Structure 1
Amino acid sequence: MTERVGEGKVYQTLQYMSRIAVWTYFRNLKVICHAPIPAEGPLLVAGNHMNMVLDPAMLIATFPHSRPCHFWALARFFKIPVIGQIFSSAGVLPVDTKTHSNAKLFESTMNCLEKGGVIAIFPEGTSYTAPHHLPFKDGLSWATYEYLSQQTDKGIPDPSISIIPVGITYSTKNKWRSDVIVEYGVPILVTGDDYREFQKDAKNSVKQLTERIAQGVERSTINSPDWDTANAAFEAKAVLFGDARGVRLEEYVRVSQSFINIFHPDRCNDDQDTYHEARNDLKQKLLIFHDNLRRLRLSSLDIRMYENKEITFFRALLRWVSTWSALVIQLPLFLPGIVVNLPIYLLSRMVNSFEKYKESVAQDKLAVSLILAMPLYSTIVYYIWKALASGFVGFIVALLLIPLFAWYHIALIDKRYDMLKQVIASWRVLMAVGSSVLSDGKHAPQRQELEDAAHLRQWCLDNIKSLLLDLAHSGDPNASYLVEYGKPLFEPVTPAATS
């Protein structure tokens, strides 16, 4: 088989490591392709960039046909020992942001495309934590037209190239065992006609293409005008559908974006919208609910069982005992994996506490895991080998047992991790309720806040259903989609009468 552009040993190693990283860090990965992506020929790829090193790792691990991707990266990374050599060997191309002299970058990019390679770029230029994507820079658009220019100069009558927009969405990007969706959008075809328009007005053509690219990526990502709208939409989704896994991953982006569109400030403040007051009132209540949960360190799912029930000390104690007992019963199954990996978990926890930038947490956790895993698992191999009376066969058996042990740990950990979170949540509820018992019935703000949150959740649930049904009947496409998606949840509800 012919080696593809950039498919050397270093890239193959990075591809293997990226797939292991994705498998160990994330619980679920969903790859969506809205159109066939060519297995060969030059391609440009544009993705959003919310999670530092994990974003290129996601493309390396999931790109269709396992095609090697050549990334643009800041030139300063190439000056770091070892990292620079790895980048160069893996086909990463340096971007000079200091002098802005990128003739060499474009030359390398054109050479790669000429050989039928894939150039992958994050047009925002940096990683970030924000409710929406950052403005896209024009570098990819200039590179596109440079390629068409060179093809035209070679006498190709009607050159073209496709740009693949990619949306990478993390359910909780800094949390271990969260979910991720990689969505490859419909290719943006840039043709000879576009190049002829570029020759007439280069800057305007570049800006228009950058806008097309941004819109392509935006269709596959979640974007909110502000954090309040994003938080209100998140809580509405959690109240209606449960936790993150209450929504199918293939619908996660659209469900989230639909709620954001419903609570968009333009809609909430539009006097011409019949339901603008209902939208705004519900949004404000959801934000209060969000703040209550943050102070209580609970999720909407944690207090769902207390809706329409008195939160008594006995009920809270029974809940904690039952969750703890269920975890203890299964403890022997996953205890060996926990004990072996405990140093990794503890140090990763420290990283999560001390890392200043949220977009760097996941990569730091993975780096710590890799650094600790090598000596840790090497030690395990050594002791297994010694236990098997040494020898070559014993060494091979020890090596084979390590991936089996890792698979066993990952296979068991998810459900038990959820059980542990339930134990912690039920303990926090018990402490909140117990605060009033210890104070002999006197004012206990934690218990009051817990009861208020439970009542507010039920109010929000009823009003979410009512508002969505009313909006759907009025023809709102976002509400219509949500009602259709969650159809069984709406069957008992009658739309509120409108005046």
Structure 2
Amino acid sequence: MGRRGSPTPWSYFFVRLLFKFVLKIFYGSIVVENANWIPENGEPCIVVANHSNSLTDALLIVTSIPGAKRNLIRLTAKATQFGKRTFTSWLIESAGTVPIKRAKDSPEGKVDNNDVFVKLMEALEQGDAVLLFPEGMSRYHPTIAPLKTGVARIVSDVLSRNKNEPQFKISILTCSITYMHREHFRSDVLITFHPPLSFTPQSNPELIAPVDFTHIRSLTSRIRNEISSGTIDSPSWDIVRSAKLASRIYAPLGTAMSLGDYVRICRIFVEVFKWAEDEKKESIPPSSRSEEEDEQSATEKAKSVNLLRQNLKIYQDELSNLGIKDDRIRRPIPRRTILRRIFVRAAWMLFLCIISFPGLILWLPIFASAQYGARKYSQKGPVWDTWDEIAQHKLVFGLISGICVWLTCILVTLPMAPVTATVVPLVMWMTLRWLEDAVSAGRAFVALTKLLWVGKRTLHRMYEQRMDLHTRIMLLAVDYLGLPNNPETVFAESGGREKGRVRGPWERRAKYFSLRRRRKRDWNETLRLYDKVNYPELEH
């Protein structure tokens, strides 16, 4: 039975094109890995991903899947987003999104989504791809929530409806989304697709009705493991913070590594910190030699890892209090050099600010409206329930105000409207480039100025402290976790231009005007004058 999938509505095409542009403005780099795993048009497919950034998650996946692969992704969203006189509501409805009712939004606490599931199954049988977030809700949290069984039940129901067609195939395409700092302007995002899980009535009779619910739970658990394997999944922000510092000490600033490699290194340290924190120690340690470990040696290793994490926290706290980065401790520089670099950074920052000033006048209303919208919404509730929508509000407010600025410029220069319509976006884009460089220079200026006031005794003590941490981290990483002992060489060779990294002086100059060009040396940077290493306390 040939399937082509549903035709693409014009509104879906428009929304995808519009937000592909907006997302590239908001996020510094959007790196997509393994797009070759995406099933082709006409193959029934359920795309599932972790859900930590509200509507932005769906927009990122839709814009990251090549149109040649899938011309349409059926979206789902909470029912409370529909029927409102807002721009967000119009976007959701015009793209053919299917509303999902949530128990938490119902006064009785009970909902009926049977009609929704029937629509999704019919779409899959036509050869469509459906996007679902099995966590059931978006939240600002470092860990993936327990998954609902809806995806597994849909697969079971679709296979049962087509059991007379033994070769009918439906796939689950798992996707991991990792934000460096989801709500901050010019941060970075990694989207990793995993090999699809394929099911047919002939190969998977256990999923054909009547079904033992154990198989549904088993498939749901398998989906969660796939998603978790490609992102940073931690029970606390404190572990994430320590893991990122461990990663920076293991692969120091300047290491030419791809965003995917950086996330995987962070994840490895998160996993070992999670294991060490678990008092029950029911799981084996994440070691390449776990089979050789006995209970006593595993307990000793856990104590050693916990002590390392405590020392990392102390070291990071001191770095934060001093306002400097680990690299300033790793490579001490003379005060004369510090003064010279302060002068150079200040001059460069001032020059960039001067040439950026005309364009900044255009950007000012956009920055102000986006910040206002995000701040107003974040005050409505606790961090875990509101911060996941900050990026969404910044995107929407920034888009609307940006369009208003563009139209205003055209109206003011009406006789030259065709020229203005093109020149204004170009000026704004170059202003953003210069602003990034100015903020980078400003960040270095601030750090160097603070470094100047740190006493030699303190710097020497922290240098000795870092050397000890580096020795212990390398021992853990190389001898226990199986990581390479020369990360600055290995990751420079494994990363490439497709991973978001620009190589060589000529390419760096040629790509200055490119949307894909990177200026950052550190994947943790945002458009701020300080390094974002701390996270808000979650309110319960």
Interval containing the TM-score (normalised by the shorter chain): 0.7 to 0.9
Equivalence for 1:203:
213
Contact 1:469 1:483 in 2 (8 A): no
Cα shift at 1:467:
3.9
Structure number with the bigger relative contact order (C-alpha 8 A, sep ≥ 6) is 2
Mean CA deviation greater in 254-263 or 120-129: 254-263
Aligned length: 455
TM-score where L is the length of structure 1: 0.82
Q: Provide the rounded CA distance (Å) in 1 between the counterparts of 2:173 and 2:490.
A: 36
Aligned with residue 468 of structure 1, among 456, 470, 474? 474
Distance 1:110 1:121, change over 3 A: same
The residue identity in structure 1 corresponding to 2:47 is: V
Q: Deviation string for 1:462-487 (max 9, x for gaps)? A: 433444246634xx3x3x22435345
The residue identity in structure 1 corresponding to 2:27 is: F
Q: Provide the rounded CA distance (Å) in 1 between the counterparts of 2:375 and 2:320.
A: 17
Equivalence for 1:9:
10
Q: Provide the rounded CA distance (Å) in 1 between the counterparts of 2:463 and 2:96.
A: 51
Q: Deviation string for 1:263-318 (max 9, x for gaps)? A: 334379775136444423321111112223344454434x447x5568x6x77655
Q: Provide the rounded CA distance (Å) in 1 between the counterparts of 2:244 and 2:423.
A: 42
Aligned with residue 362 of structure 1, among 381, 391, 415? 391
Equivalence for 1:234:
244
Map residues 395-406 of structure 1 onto 2, 5 A cutoff.
395-406=417-428
Map residues 215-364 of structure 1 onto 2, 5 A cutoff.
215-242=225-252, 247-266=257-276, 271-273=296-298, 275-301=301-327, 303-304=328-329, 308=332, 318-350=340-372, 355-356=378-379, 357-364=386-393
Equivalence for 2:512:
none
The residue identity in structure 2 corresponding to 1:168 is: I
Q: Say whether 1:371 aligns with 2:400.
A: yes
Equivalence for 2:497:
none
Q: Say whether 1:103 aligns with 2:114.
A: yes
Q: Deviation string for 1:11-62 (max 9, x for gaps)? A: 1111012211221011111111175322212110001111112101101111
Cα shift at 1:210:
0.7
Distance 1:372 1:244, change over 3 A: farther
Equivalence for 2:74:
70
Aligned-residue Cα RMSD (Å) equals 3.1
Contact 1:344 1:368 in 2 (8 A): yes
Q: Deviation string for 1:203-240 (max 9, x for gaps)? A: 21211111111111111111124333221111112233
Contact 2:75 2:131 in 1 (8 A): yes
The residue identity in structure 2 corresponding to 1:94 is: P
The residue identity in structure 2 corresponding to 1:359 is: D
Equivalence for 1:53:
55
Contact 1:72 1:120 in 2 (8 A): yes
Q: Deviation string for 1:406-428 (max 9, x for gaps)? A: 33234433323311222333445
Contact 1:279 1:467 in 2 (8 A): no
Q: Say whether 1:138 aligns with 2:140.
A: no
Q: Secondary structure, in 3 states, of the residue corresponding to 1:213?
A: helix
Q: Provide the rounded CA distance (Å) in 2 between the counterparts of 1:12 and 1:96.
A: 26
TM-score where L is the length of structure 2: 0.76
Q: Say whether 1:412 aligns with 2:418.
A: no
Q: Provide the rounded CA distance (Å) in 2 between the counterparts of 1:139 and 1:318.
A: 61
The residue identity in structure 2 corresponding to 1:19 is: K
Q: Provide the rounded CA distance (Å) in 2 between the counterparts of 1:372 and 1:3.
A: 39
Aligned with residue 169 of structure 1, among 178, 196, 212? 178
Greater fraction of residues in helix: 1
Percent identity reads 21
Alignment gaps of 5+ in structure 2: 282-295, 380-385, 492-540
Contact 2:256 2:488 in 1 (8 A): no
Mean CA deviation greater in 67-76 or 175-184: 67-76
Mean CA deviation greater in 122-131 or 178-187: 122-131
Q: Secondary structure, in 3 states, of the residue corresponding to 2:11?
A: helix
Q: Secondary structure, in 3 states, of the residue corresponding to 1:176?
A: coil
Q: Secondary structure, in 3 states, of the residue corresponding to 1:40?
A: coil
Map residues 183-198 of structure 1 onto 2, 5 A cutoff.
183-192=192-201, 193-198=203-208
Q: Provide the rounded CA distance (Å) in 2 between the counterparts of 1:237 and 1:111.
A: 46
Q: Deviation string for 1:430-451 (max 9, x for gaps)? A: 6xx2xxxxxxxxxxxxx57x97
Q: Provide the rounded CA distance (Å) in 1 between the counterparts of 2:465 and 2:490.
A: 19
Q: Which entry has the higher C-alpha Rg, 1 or 2?
A: 1
Distance 1:469 1:86, change over 3 A: closer
Equivalence for 2:462:
456
Q: Secondary structure, in 3 states, of the residue corresponding to 2:204?
A: helix
Aligned with residue 159 of structure 1, among 164, 168, 179? 168
Contact 2:51 2:139 in 1 (8 A): yes
Distance 1:245 1:337, change over 3 A: farther
